[in-house]
Structure 1
Amino acid sequence: MIWKDYFDLERDYKAIVRSFDEDAYLSEAVKAYYGVRILNQDPWEALCSFIISQNNNIPRIKGIISRLCETFGEEIDENCYTFPSSKKLSGLTAEDLSSIRAGFRAKYIIDAAQKVQSKEIDIYGLSNLPLKAAQDALIKIKGVGPKVADCALLYGCKHYDAFPLDVWMKRVLSELYGENLPNCNQKYLGIAQQYLFHWRRNLDSIEIVQAKK
């Protein structure tokens, strides 16, 4: 069933979070927010959405994606549209996207669509590549750096070893680990990142946890 894969319900998250027990901060994060999961989004949709997310805020991201779907997707129900395919967008220009108000991101969306459509980047095969090879493939796209690549790989390509680093997560690592990575199974760094992100964002004071070490 589609929803089982989307919510990653067949993955043994209990076993995964048990591997976090040796890390004091991860252990606290799991206790506080047990049940965090990674959604398995469509690889193309994830890539395009994270390109749109660059230097952006959530309301604007949602608005751009909504306009993208309404303008270039297919209507499948009243006010309900599909996400436009790479094939559809690859034949457009950045100027064609002016109505969705994506700004400088428009040319990146078009470049991504063209590279995916031409198979220069096998977006649906990235899950089968080692992380470094998958990252190297995505950063060939104009405007895609390590953070966007890792987000697309984690949320769209089942690369649970990807560890997206934005300004907030760099601050968290510096505060908790001295800029090192968490002490956990490297295969699940992306899941660890989600726990740490949500936990630290909602924590009032880190001193309490530090005292427990």
Structure 2
Amino acid sequence: MNCQQTPGGLLVTGITDFSLPETLDCGQCFRWQRLESGAYRGSAYGKSLTVSMDEKGLLLQGAAEEDFQALWRSYFDLDLDYNKIRGALANKDPILKEAAAFAPGIRILNQEPFETLCSFIISQNNNIPRIKGIIERLCLLFERETGSADRFPTAEMLACRREEDLAPLRAGWRAAYLLDAAQKVAGGEIDLERIKALPMPEARAELMRIKGVGPKVAECVLLYGLHRLEAFPMDVWMKRAMATLFPEKSVLDFGPYAGIAQQYIFHYSRLHPELFR
């Protein structure tokens, strides 16, 4: 990868196997908005960014090269060889090969763990526009404490609030779960950094000690917030896809990159509804 400062922003060239729409609109994150221009505006780790991509490369507006190297390169997971991973997955099953080739630009973001935990607690029985709205209102509620509406509140900030304090979020019953998550993280009962290194059964069990965190949310946090690429979120749609497309396979058959396989399968299945008629 090479970086060049241009009048329009920082241009990063030499990037392959990466698509902004496939990555930012696949349901793994909720802080990005697609603009009329086709660019995306969002934030991560308290930094805001407008980013677009064309045949010239990845254009970052509002970021210098040091920002790219320190944050965005890792956030977009640009150093992992997804082409090699797709090849390994393709050898496991012809349908998986087709699914991987259908959306080769999906990458798993390196998101902030506590934000991801809260986001997927909010995501339960919810739709993406409403999830985004609740998260936006949460950041606005804590803007005075964080210094910016682009910053997600820390666990410590959230832990000292009461359920009625979160009424402006219009999050319903999820507010109690957010507070429980914040209190357990802030108090050290749940150590997200430690969970990153635990064996998967223990990591799942630790996360599920939080009220409202079941198997699916735990898998989402592991995959999207802790970058455990073997995690495999299973909702009703994915269970149906597995039963229809891979009836003789289990998650373990997809190996250490099962989470990437899940993204390919989910995207492929969602855009091929005729497979399930």
Q: TM-score, normalised by structure 2?
A: 0.70
User: What per-residue deviation string (whole Å, max 9, x for no partner) do you get for residues 47-103 of structure 1?
Assistant: 000000000011110110000000024233xxx431010000010111111111110
Q: What SS does structure 2 have at the residue aligned with 1:84?
A: coil
Q: Does 1:188 align with 2:254?
A: no
Kept in 2, the 8 Å contact 1:19–1:185? The answer is: no
1:101–1:10 CA distance, 2 compared to 1 (3 A): same
User: What per-residue deviation string (whole Å, max 9, x for no partner) do you get for residues 23-59 of structure 1?
Assistant: 1111001221112110110000100000000000111
1:56–1:15 CA distance, 2 compared to 1 (3 A): same
Equivalent residue for 1:70, pick from 140, 151, 169: 140
Kept in 2, the 8 Å contact 1:23–1:182? The answer is: no
Kept in 2, the 8 Å contact 1:69–1:81? The answer is: yes
Equivalent-residue separation in structure 1 for 2:94 and 2:252 (angstroms):
9
| Correspondence 1:29-40 to 2 at 5 A | 29-40=99-110
State the match for 1:157 in structure 2.
Answer: 226
Unaligned runs of 5+ in 2: 1-68
1:127–1:154 CA distance, 2 compared to 1 (3 A): same
Unaligned runs of 5+ in 1: 208-213
Q: Which runs of 4+ in 1 moved over 4 A?
A: 182-185
Q: Does 1:133 align with 2:199?
A: no
Q: Does 1:86 align with 2:141?
A: no
Equivalent-residue separation in structure 1 for 2:118 and 2:230 (angstroms):
20
State the match for 1:116 in structure 2.
Answer: 185
Aligned length: 204
Equivalent-residue separation in structure 1 for 2:142 and 2:130 (angstroms):
18
Equivalent-residue separation in structure 1 for 2:151 and 2:140 (angstroms):
8
Kept in 2, the 8 Å contact 1:19–1:184? The answer is: no
Q: TM-score, normalised by structure 1?
A: 0.91
Which stretch shifts more, 25-34 or 190-199?
25-34
Higher relative contact order (CA 8 A, sep 6+): 1
Percent of aligned positions that are identical: 50
Kept in 2, the 8 Å contact 1:182–1:192? The answer is: no
Q: Does 1:52 align with 2:122?
A: yes
State the match for 1:7 in structure 2.
Answer: 76
State the match for 1:210 in structure 2.
Answer: none
Kept in 2, the 8 Å contact 1:160–1:189? The answer is: yes
CA RMSD of aligned residues (A): 1.6
Structure showing the higher helix proportion among its residues: 1
Aligned amino acid, residue 49 of structure 1: S
Aligned amino acid, residue 75 of structure 1: G
Equivalent-residue separation in structure 2 for 1:93 and 1:204 (angstroms):
43
Q: Does 1:43 align with 2:113?
A: yes
Structure showing the higher strand proportion among its residues: 2
Which stretch shifts more, 182-191 or 87-96?
182-191
Give, in angstroms, the shift of residue 3 of structure 1. 0.5
Equivalent-residue separation in structure 2 for 1:3 and 1:152 (angstroms):
20
Equivalent-residue separation in structure 2 for 1:183 and 1:24 (angstroms):
17
Give, in angstroms, the shift of residue 20 of structure 1. 1.1
Q: What SS does structure 1 have at the residue aligned with 2:274?
A: coil
1:179–1:144 CA distance, 2 compared to 1 (3 A): farther
1:92–1:179 CA distance, 2 compared to 1 (3 A): farther
State the match for 1:172 in structure 2.
Answer: 241
Give, in angstroms, the shift of residue 179 of structure 1. 7.2
Equivalent-residue separation in structure 2 for 1:183 and 1:51 (angstroms):
26
